[in-house]
Chains A and B, each alone.
Chain A
Amino acid sequence: MDPIERQVRESLRTRADDVEPTPALWREVDRRLARRRRLRAWTWLPVAASLIAAAVAIPMVVGGDEVPRIDDVLGTDGPEETPTDPVGPDDGDAPRDVDGTDADEAPLALDLPTAPVVVAAEQRVSLVGPDGTLELATFPTEGESVVLEVAVQPGSTPDDLTAIVVTTGEGFTELRWVDVRDGEVVGRGSITEPPLAAVSTTETDVVIEGTSWSPAGDRLAWLERHRDGTGTVLRTIAWAGEPGEGAPGSCPAVGPGVDECEPAADEEVSFPVPELDGTGARLAGWVASDTAAAFQFVAPDGDPGYWVWSLGIGTDTIPTVDDSPQRIEVDEPDVTAVLDIAGGTVLRRTADGVEVVLPDREVLATLPDGDRREIPSGLVAAGDGGAFVVVDGRLHEVMPDGDVTDLGAAVAVDRVD
Chain B
Amino acid sequence: MAEKTIHGIAQRVDEMRDTFQYGKKILNFLDELFHIYQDIVPLLEKINKSIEESSSNLPHASNELSKVTQATEVATIEILNTIEEMNCIINESSQLITKVSEKKARRKKLLDEVLKLCKSLKSSNKGKLAESAESLVKQIIADESEEDLVKKVTGNTEKLSEYASDITISLQVQDITAQQLAAVNQLVESVHNRLHDLLQSLDENNVAPPPELISGKAQSFDPDATYFDSKNRQKFADSVQNSYQNESRDCENHKVINNKPSQEEIDRLFNNNG
The answer to whether A binds B is no
List residues of chain B with CB under 8 Å of any chain A CB: none
